[in-house]
A = this chain, B = another copy of it.
Amino acid sequence: MAEAPIRLGMVGGGDDAFIGGVHRIAARLDGHYTLLAGALSSTPEKARASAEVLGLARGYDTFAEMAQAEAARDDGIEAVAIVTPNHVHAPAAIAFLEQGIHVICDKPLTSTMADAERLEKAARTSGALFMLTHNYTGYPMIRQARQMIAEGELGDVRLVNVEYVQDWMTGPAQGKQAEWRVDPARSGAGGAIGDIGTHAYNLACFVSGLTLDRLAADLDAFGTGRTLDDNAHVMLRWKGGAKGMLWCSQVAPGNENALRLRVYGDKGGLDWSQEDPNALWFTPFGEPKRLLTRNGAGATEANARMSRVPGGHPEGYLEAFANLYSETARAIHAHRRGGAVPGDLLFPTIADGMDGMRFIDACVRSSSNDSAWETP
């Protein structure tokens, strides 16, 4: 009694974009979506050409046109993926939310706080769902880490340290991926802190269950002629007394996509690295370290539910991304039937997006203010 696939559209993600292809695979992987329509570029000719290359049923010149036209069709899209540079997130998402079309939006939420607030309002007032692709929360071991902490296996959490380190901006920014990221008009006030720092921050909150109280940040732009940060050091004070550090960098040679989260409590510790995502180190204090694995011995229900294949058969980035799409699909299925979103569903929402925007903003403020402690 398979559910009919969800009719999906896409804004951005023309055929030379990285993240658009990722969203398409993520939507396809578990078979819950069919991609039908798109406004795949801000340049109409490119948009149409990309739609043809991808074999979309309906290609549009602009997202505004697409939102209206799709809403008017009986067989119009039910959900849209927004995978543009940051500054387009808000207007595009709002256009679809206003038509009651569910939005799956890349991170960070928007490029400005004002945009974020407008989008939040639109999401709150729309009947449609909003999911933000903080995709690292889709990893099975991350789900297990969250569950273990919630169930008290670490005791009282004292430390949440997270780092997200890359090297691809070590030299001059080159290529489409780099160019818009170093442009404040398209990226926003944060460079690395917005692009990857928000991922790290979101992951730390997601797993630990903690809320940030204050932060002190030191942001740098090492790349020649760069105005946005490409490296950020941040000290964290969590509500309730825990502490932490966050480091993100795009100028650290030898690091491809090295996101690592460590959480320590008075009873135990956890250590997870995105580049080895099927493993989670767990140490109950005073006992040997244990290597927990995806869908392997010691897997919790939260881990197994996000897994497709047995332990030892690596799942990766695309599967984690697909997990968010599939969780969202379950929510959309419930919405179709007029029911509530199932209680065990978990995906990043507009609230996480707002939280990330406040985090970027506080980092930029603190760094401008000689690293004074700021409230996000």
Stretch at the interface among A91-99, A121-129, A186-194, A263-271: A263-271
Chain B residues, CB < 8 A from A255: 269, 312
Chain B residues, CB < 8 A from A247: 161, 245
- Minimum CB–CB distance from A318 to chain B (whole Å) comes to 7
A176 within 8 A of B: no
- Given A277-B314, A288-B291, A314-B316, are A256 and B296 neighbors across the interface (CB < 8 Å)? yes
**Complex: A253 Cα to B318 Cα, angstroms:** 29
B275-A254 in contact (CB<8A): no
Residue of B nearest to A320 (CB): B314
Chain B residues, CB < 8 A from A291: 288-291
A318-B309 in contact (CB<8A): yes
Chain B residues, CB < 8 A from A166: 312
A46 within 8 A of B: no
A61 within 8 A of B: no
- Minimum CB–CB distance from A32 to chain B (whole Å) comes to 10
A216 within 8 A of B: yes
Chain B residues, CB < 8 A from A314: 274-277, 314, 316-317
A167 within 8 A of B: yes
Among A158-177, those with CB < 8 Å from B are 158-159, 161, 166-168, 170-171
B256-A264 in contact (CB<8A): no
Chain B residues, CB < 8 A from A258: 312
**Complex: A316 Cα to B313 Cα, angstroms:** 7
- Minimum CB–CB distance from A196 to chain B (whole Å) comes to 11
**Complex: A314 Cα to B311 Cα, angstroms:** 15
A178 within 8 A of B: no
A65 within 8 A of B: no
Interface residues on A, range: 35 or more
Chain B residues, CB < 8 A from A373: 370-371
A70 within 8 A of B: no
Chain B residues, CB < 8 A from A310: 18, 168, 256-257
**Complex: A22 Cα to B282 Cα, angstroms:** 29
A251 within 8 A of B: yes
A58 within 8 A of B: no
A21 within 8 A of B: yes
A114 within 8 A of B: no
B158-A231 in contact (CB<8A): yes
Chain B residues, CB < 8 A from A297: 286-289
Q: Which of B21, B216, B256 contacts A293 (CB 8 A)?
A: B256
**Complex: A235 Cα to B371 Cα, angstroms:** 10
A249 within 8 A of B: yes
Chain B residues, CB < 8 A from A146: none
Chain B residues, CB < 8 A from A289: 254, 290-291, 297
A269-B283 in contact (CB<8A): no
- Given A2-B55, A218-B237, are A308 and B231 neighbors across the interface (CB < 8 Å)? no
**Complex: A288 Cα to B286 Cα, angstroms:** 17
A292 within 8 A of B: yes
Q: What are 10 A-B contacts with C-beta separation under 8 Å?
A: A159-B249, A159-B252, A171-B286, A216-B235, A233-B244, A253-B269, A254-B289, A257-B311, A288-B293, A316-B316
5 nearest interchain CB pairs?
A: A256-B312, A257-B312, A2-B55, A254-B283, A314-B316
